[in-house]
């Protein structure tokens, strides 16, 4: 077959659009400027380095003219990160616009839509392609902490698959926004001996971000709650300092409501039959520790009224059972609160009818007769080769209230499963924290309405939300960097 010359249809390079064709230009620079370009720009050639710096400066100048900053809100919850971010950027003269948000809890979505008036909140982020998300400038996310599957660092993009951080990583990689603000629980610092956090930071840096992180406590940002969280930020331009924020402090009394309905139950009736409201403020109610800061079930007759002798003995046993000498005598590893036999108890407490005395307290429910516990595969299991002993009955959340908060102090970290056991003295009675008080402890605005949710749903969300003033303080620094 004869061969013909000429260009085949479809062969050769695809012509570049006119806007992408390169134009040769001559510039004159000093040796000092060339040294700076080599040091601070990225690129394989001098031309690429110049383009990098010119593009970065043009982007900065465009931002000073176009004050709209677009962001996405992942694992949105109540939108606490969004609130802090929006407030900071608005105060800096920007118009923050949320172009995409994602959340899976139905009652979180209801609250989010109700406050932000968003018509659409996307569901499971793992099912959403990054190409379906509008371009944006910042990614916000309080992502859940999950174990990483890889056995070490440096295993590439794949070693975060199966974790929700991967969803953040893949979106950042494809969309290449200017920056991000991430939040996680305090435990991330030491999770898997710090390996998890190292992988996260390493992968963010590989996406060409300047990354900073810090463990920050909300109590220094004008909130009456100690809530430590890990914050991770990154930008294209430079590191954001997460140190030396201006400190503001508050106490619980600053945010408490007054005159709300109190709890009238067998528990509160017995409590106030033995103590005044003023006497219970700041006290823990549990049968695990001694000391003046604790009220014990036998001191309020919760399982039946005790004599002074019985109460004194239970307070003595509470402390005695913690001594290390008993572990050696029993033949187990020490634990905080070991069952002691009648014979062992008789060495520090004399009673003419000791067994009958002890069994009476077992029958009332203040003591239990149980085997000592040995360590086995990292857990404590009953050692049935040892004789049974008497021990205090001490369930962690076994009482209606386990802590009475002090208005002159901080509230503990709100945790969804514990918050219903926190008490507040209101007038002559005792009640639980209100939803509004829970919101104030996290810095939510007064017009954020959660009243249409069940109390359990509201506190579940508040137990997992962020502290808005901390987010705002960090976002102010992001806005300053973005504006310059």
Contact predicate 362/368, CB 8 Å: yes
Residue 13's pLDDT band (cuts 50, 70, 90): low
- Residues 98, 145, 442, 467: which is the catalytic one? 145
Answer yes or no: is pLDDT of 20 > 50.
yes
- Residues in CB range of 386: below 8 A, 6 or more apart: 330, 331, 332, 371, 372
Q: Dump pLDDT digits (tens) for 324-375.
A: 999 999 999 998 889 999 999 999 999 999 999 999 999 999 999 999 999 8
Please report, for the chain, the start and end positions of each structural domain, with discontinuous segments joined by +.
25-63, 67-250+466-483, 287-392
Q: Dump pLDDT digits (tens) for 370-423.
A: 999 998 888 899 999 999 999 998 765 578 898 999 999 999 888 877 888 899
Answer yes or no: is pLDDT of 157 > 50.
no
Answer yes or no: is pLDDT of 54 > 80.
no
For residue 320 the two structure tokens come to 């005695």
Residue 152's pLDDT band (cuts 50, 70, 90): very low
What pLDDT does 60 receive? Answer: 65
SS (H, E, C) the chain: CCCCCCCCCCCCCCCCCHHHCCCCCCCCCCHHHHHHHHHHCCCCCHHHHHHHHHHHHHHHHHHHHCCEEEEEEECCCCCHHHHHHHHHHHHCCCEEEEEEEECCCHHHHHHHHHHHCCCCCECCHHHCCHHHCCCCCEEEECCCCCCCCCCCCCCCHHHHCCCCHHHHHHHHHHHCCCEEEEEEEHHHHCHHHHHHHHHHHHHHHHCCCEEEEEEEEHHHECCCECCEEEEEEEECCCCCCCCCCCCECCCHHHCCCCCCCCCCCHHHHHHHHHCCHHHHCCCEECCCCCCCCEECHHHCCCCCCCCHHHHHHHHHHHHHCCCHHHHHHHCCCCCCCCCECHHHHHCCCCCCCHHHHHHHHHHHCCEEEECCEEEECCEEEECCCCCCEEEECCCCCCCCCCEECCCCCCECCCCCCCHHHEEEEECCEEEECCHHHHHHHCCCCCCCCCCCCCHHHHHHHHCCCCCHHHHHHHHHHHHHHHHC
What pLDDT does 163 receive? Answer: 78
Q: Dump pLDDT digits (tens) for 262-278.
A: 999 999 999 999 999 99
What pLDDT does 226 receive? Answer: 94
The CATH H-level superfamily of 67-250+466-483 is Vaccinia Virus protein VP39 (3.40.50.150)
442 is catalytic: no
What pLDDT does 10 receive? Answer: 53
């Amino acid at each position: 077959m004869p061969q013909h010359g000429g260009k085949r249809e479809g062969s050769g390079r695809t012509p570049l659009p006119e806007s992408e064709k390169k134009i040769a230009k001559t510039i004159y620079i000093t040796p000092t400027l060339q040294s700076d370009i080599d040091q601070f720009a990225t690129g394989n050639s001098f031309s690429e380095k110049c383009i990098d710096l010119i593009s970065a400066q043009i982007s900065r100048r465009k931002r000073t003219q176009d004050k709209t900053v677009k962001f996405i809100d992942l694992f949105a919850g109540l939108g606490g990160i969004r609130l802090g971010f929006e407030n900071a950027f608005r105060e800096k003269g920007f118009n923050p616009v949320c172009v995409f948000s994602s959340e899976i809890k139905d009652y979180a979505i209801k609250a989010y839509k109700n406050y932000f008036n968003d018509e659409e909140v996307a569901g499971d982020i793992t099912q959403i392609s990054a190409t379906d998300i509008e371009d944006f400038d910042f990614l916000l996310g309080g992502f859940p902490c999950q174990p990483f599957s890889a056995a070490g660092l440096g295993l590439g993009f794949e070693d975060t698959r199966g974790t929700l951080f991967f969803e953040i990583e893949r979106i950042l990689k494809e969309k290449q926004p200017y920056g991000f603000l991430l939040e996680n629980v305090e435990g991330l610092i030491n999770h898997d001996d710090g390996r998890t956090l190292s992988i996260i930071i390493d992968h963010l840096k590989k996406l060409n971000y300047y990354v900073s992180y810090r463990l920050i406590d909300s109590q220094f940002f004008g909130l009456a709650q100690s809530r430590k969280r890990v914050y991770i930020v990154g930008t294209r331009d430079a590191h954001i300092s997460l140190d030396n924020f201006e400190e503001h402090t508050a106490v619980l009394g600053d945010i408490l409501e007054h005159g709300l309905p109190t709890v009238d139950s067998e528990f509160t009736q017995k409590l106030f039959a033995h103590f005044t409201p003023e006497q219970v403020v700041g006290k823990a109610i549990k049968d695990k520790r001694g000391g003046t800061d604790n009220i014990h079930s036998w001191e309020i007759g919760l399982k039946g009224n005790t004599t002074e002798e019985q109460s004194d003995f239970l307070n003595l046993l509470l402390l005695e059972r913690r001594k290390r000498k008993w572990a050696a005598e029993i033949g187990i590893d020490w634990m905080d609160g070991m069952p002691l036999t009648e014979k062992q108890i008789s060495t520090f407490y004399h009673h003419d009818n000791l067994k009958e005395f002890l069994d009476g307290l077992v029958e009332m429910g203040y003591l239990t007769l149980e085997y000592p516990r040995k360590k086995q595969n990292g857990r404590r299991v009953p050692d049935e080769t040892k004789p049974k002993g008497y021990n205090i009955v001490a369930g962690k959340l076994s009482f209606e209230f386990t802590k009475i908060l002090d208005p002159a102090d901080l509230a503990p970290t709100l945790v969804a499963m514990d918050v219903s056991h926190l008490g507040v003295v209101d007038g002559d009675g005792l009640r639980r924290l209100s939803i509004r008080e829970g919101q104030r402890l996290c810095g939510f605005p007064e017009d954020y309405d959660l009243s249409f949710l069940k109390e359990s749903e509201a506190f579940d969300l508040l137990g997992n939300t962020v502290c808005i003033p901390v987010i705002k303080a960090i976002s102010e620094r992001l806005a300053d960097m973005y504006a310059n």
